[in-house]
A and B are shown apart, each in its own frame.
Chain A
Amino acid sequence: MNRSLIKSLFIIVSLSAGLLGGVAHAAVQTIRAEVNGMVCAFCAQGIEKKMRSLTQTKEVYVDLKNKVVAVELKEGQVLSTDTVRDLIKDAGYDVSRIETVGSTVEQIRAAVKVGRK
């Protein structure tokens, strides 16, 4: 009886942890754009400033070598890829590919560094 209760509790706790972990993971939303023409930091800062000015933005990452801009959203915030595309265009660049991913900016940054090693 006791053993069965402990087993049930363990399963409930495990499922809850997994579910919560899944919710936390799903909460991360980052818009990742590949940007044509982004060759110099002096010019690319326009993109960073535009993205940081958005109320939905939590963090921004600019990767000059791979021509990638990543905008991580605050939890519960919504931002369309079209808005990001338009802002990048306003900054003077073209977007060749844009998508929403479930990684944080830190994870993207770390993956880029690992890829270079």
Chain B
Amino acid sequence: MRFTLRLWLAVLLAAASCAAQAGPMGFKDSWMAMGDFGPNWREAWVNYAVTPRDAVGVGALYMRSDDKTRRRDVAELTYTRLLQRWNSKNSQANVWFLAGAGSVEGNDFSGARTLLSPGIQLDYETTRFYVAATARLYRASGLNHDYGSVRAGFSFYEVDYEETQPWLIVEARRMNDLSDKTEITPMLRLINKGYFVEAGINNSRQFRFNFMHIF
């Protein structure tokens, strides 16, 4: 069982090293809202693309330990930068820089601490295949909740622009200090123009729901 899990992770990491997907910002002058909701990780943010490559926004993040005893509440200003994009006829690959600066509060320490959260995301996609890898530091005085995730998936079939496209996506992620587990979540993803939703159940039998919307 553990070997199978490691094998899956190795495959995902290998795939992620080749490339990555749907970016963390929209097109120039657009707003993007995003949410990621599960029992131990709840995140929501909105950003505005001031240039084709830069977006600024605000976000909130709730993290909880597996044993449910420790919590973190983060509020931050965010900056997203498209460092590099490769467009080819049938694929797109991106390198994103992500950064946040704000405060973190917890139930096992008093007051608020300044938190910095720089990160990087790589993604690659075609109309039928998608892979992404994200690494992000969540650091504050005495705290280290670094985060890493890899995602890979495929669409069941190609669709026209106006139609809804279903995908199967598998995500593996880890959250330092608050969890010793690697969370694995197979998700059904549906994309229809400005709407992007994902729902699945992770290996702890917890429900997850993600969405993105550009407006």
A residues with CB within 8 A of B:
36-50, 62-65, 67, 89-94, 96
Pairs A-B, 8 closest by C-beta atoms: A37-B87, A46-B27, A37-B92, A36-B87, A62-B161, A94-B87, A91-B27, A45-B193
- Decide if B52 touches A64 in the complex (CB within 8 Å): no
B191's partner among A38, A42, A92 (CB-CB below 8 A) is A42
- Decide if B27 touches A36 in the complex (CB within 8 Å): no
Bound complex: CA of A89 vs CA of B87, how far in Å? 11
Q: Using Cβ atoms and an 8 Å threshold, which residues of chain B touch A42? A: 22, 191, 193-196, 212, 214
A–B pairs, 16, beta carbons within 8 Å: A36-B87, A39-B91, A41-B191, A42-B191, A42-B194, A43-B23, A45-B214, A46-B26, A46-B27, A49-B27, A49-B30, A64-B158, A65-B127, A92-B87, A94-B87, A96-B89
1/0 contact trace for B188-212 toward A, CB 8 Å?
Answer: 0001111110000000000000001
B85 within 8 A of A: yes
B185 within 8 A of A: no
B192's partner among A41, A63, A89, A94 (CB-CB below 8 A) is A41
Bound complex: CA of A38 vs CA of B127, how far in Å? 9
Min CB distance, A68 to chain B, in Å?
10
Chief secondary structure at chain A's binding surface: mixed
- Decide if A65 touches B126 in the complex (CB within 8 Å): no
B residues with CB within 8 A of A:
21-23, 26-28, 30, 52, 82, 85-92, 125-127, 158-161, 165, 191-196, 212, 214
Min CB distance, A84 to chain B, in Å?
15
A67's partner among B89, B159, B196 (CB-CB below 8 A) is B89
Bound complex: CA of A92 vs CA of B191, how far in Å? 19
Min CB distance, B54 to chain A, in Å?
12
A63's partner among B21, B161, B194 (CB-CB below 8 A) is B161
Q: Using Cβ atoms and an 8 Å threshold, which residues of chain B touch A65? A: 127, 158, 160
- Decide if B52 touches A39 in the complex (CB within 8 Å): no
Closest to B126 in A: A39
Min CB distance, B152 to chain A, in Å?
15
- Decide if B191 touches A91 in the complex (CB within 8 Å): no
Closest to A35 in B: B87
Extra 13 A-B pairs, beta carbons < 8 Å, given A40-B127, A90-B28: A37-B85, A37-B91, A37-B92, A40-B21, A40-B125, A40-B165, A41-B191, A41-B193, A50-B27, A63-B161, A90-B52, A91-B52, A92-B52
Bound complex: CA of A90 vs CA of B92, how far in Å? 15
- Decide if B125 touches A64 in the complex (CB within 8 Å): no
Q: Using Cβ atoms and an 8 Å threshold, which residues of chain A touch B212? A: 42
Closest to B129 in A: A39
Bound complex: CA of A77 vs CA of B100, how far in Å? 45
Min CB distance, B206 to chain A, in Å?
26
Q: Using Cβ atoms and an 8 Å threshold, which residues of chain A touch B89? A: 36, 67, 96
- Decide if A41 touches B91 in the complex (CB within 8 Å): no
Q: Using Cβ atoms and an 8 Å threshold, which residues of chain B touch A47? A: 27
